[in-house]
Amino acid sequence: MMTITDEQMKQDWYDNLMKEYDERAIAFAHYDAGSIGFADYDEAQNNIDSEDYLVLTDEEADEVVRKEIEEMVWAFNASFLQAHTGVDADAIEKIQEMCESANEPLKAMIKDFDHFVDDAVSCDGRGHFLDVNLEENEITFNGITYYIYRRN
């Protein structure tokens, strides 16, 4: 006769879950469970795969926010750009009239782009650049903290 304990069943369930889903999807499903009442792993995986949500480590979020900021320099407040370029805000506003075409010239004027990114994130947070609701949410799963951003 074989006896199966609750612990064995839980471990089997967990092992199968880890085989079937990405760890990020599992973490996101549990984060999202608060709004829907249960962890829907398929839906979580679909949301990540379709990039409706980003589920990133701290380092990954820093890399992604940097790329986002690099693409939107032209849209920053002229006085913020003035502080990082030394160029008068009125002149920056004239350049910004070119919209997206102004991005590269303005980026080239920034004295220290790493500091520019750090300052922007420090002022507004990563969620401001990565999330449609301007939020950054987090969940820790298996000792790894994931940051969650809604993209659409």
Backbone angles phi, psi at 137, to 5 degrees: -115, 160
For residue 35, what pLDDT is reported?
67
For residue 58, what pLDDT is reported?
98
pLDDT over 70 percentage in the chain: 98
Q: Are 69 and 117 in contact (CB under 8 A)?
A: yes
Q: Position 141: which residue type? A: F
For residue 14, what pLDDT is reported?
85
pLDDT tens digits, one per residue of 39-93? 899 999 999 999 999 999 999 999 999 999 999 999 999 999 999 999 999 999 9
Give me the chain's average pLDDT, please: 94
CA distance 82 to 21: 47
Residue 4 confidence class, pLDDT cut points 50, 70, 90: confident
Q: In the numeric block, which tokens belong to residue 150?
A: 């809604």
Considering the entire predicted model, what is its pTM? 0.86
- The residues facing 137 across adjacent strands are 148
* pLDDT: which is higher, 33 or 138: 138
For residue 1, what pLDDT is reported?
82
Q: HSE, CB side, 13 Å, CA atoms: give it for residue 92.
A: 23
DSSP secondary structure letter of residue 50: T
